[in-house]
Amino acid sequence: MAIYIVDDNTDMCEFLAFLLSSEGHRVHAFNCPEEALSHMHSKQLQPKILITDYNMPRMNGYELHQHVSTHSPKVKTIVISGRALDGLIGGLHFLQKPFPPQHMLNMVNALISG
């Protein structure tokens, strides 16, 4: 089961990749949505979880979720952002930055078991 992390902030991307891989998750981290989509299609992977920043150049996190879900309809998405996103992400899961690492782990574990 793959977890995709997409954030144009390299530090956040690396932090989340380290956090989740140290818990035993198989993680693929990308700094731009196009890279993640290309990897997903070329490797024919269907990520179980997508963790994405909302504010990114060329494609926001909600748009990325829509692209990923056409290829992987059962993907569960967590959108992260430094600002509230009321109404901008539909019913997707949301964590506002900064968040305690344990909150991310709890959410990921709940999505995997649920």
Percent of the chain with pLDDT over 90: 93
How many structural domains is the chain composed of?
A: 1
Q: What is the pTM of this model?
A: 0.96
- Domain of 70, in residue numbers: 2-113
Q: How far apart are CA 53 and CA 98, in angstroms?
A: 12
Quote the strand ranges of the chain, DSSP E: 2-6, 26-30, 49-53, 76-81, 93-96
Tell me what pLDDT residue 114 has: 77
Question: In this predicted model, what pLDDT tens digit does every residue of 69-109 receive, in sequence order?
Answer: 999 999 999 999 999 998 899 999 999 999 999 999 999 99
CATH number at residue 99: 3.40.50.2300
Average pLDDT, the chain: 96
**How far, in Å, are 1, 7, 46, 110 from residue 81 at the CA level?**
25, 10, 24, 20
